[in-house]
Amino acid sequence: MKSSLTRGRALKQIAGLPLAALAVGATLSAAQGAVANNQKQYKYQNKPGAKGAKCSGCRFFKPPHGCTIVTGTISPNGWCIAYSPK
């Protein structure tokens, strides 16, 4: 009798594992989404800013299409509010 109760409890714990794994996965996806979407936060645009300021002339630009601050694909001709000339 005691062993069947223990087995039942163990089965319940095992059954809960996939749900726990799903919850962790969903949290990670949300965090990754937040990182991938900081272009709005920095008001990134796919065209040069005032006076021709653009990513290719910014110290944070990582050729060919990256940036140390703004995530995602960055155009050499883009611009954002973190622009800092080289």
What's the DSSP call for residue 61? E
Tell me the window of 7-15, 17-25, 27-35, 69-77 that interacts with ligand SF4 (CB under 6 A).
Answer: 69-77
Residues in 32-61 at the binding interface with ligand SF4, rule: CB under 6 A: 44, 55, 58, 60-61
Size of the site for ligand SF4 (CB under 6 A): 14
Name the site residues for ligand SF4 (rule: CB under 6 A).
Answer: 44, 55, 58, 60-61, 67, 69-70, 74, 78-80, 82-83
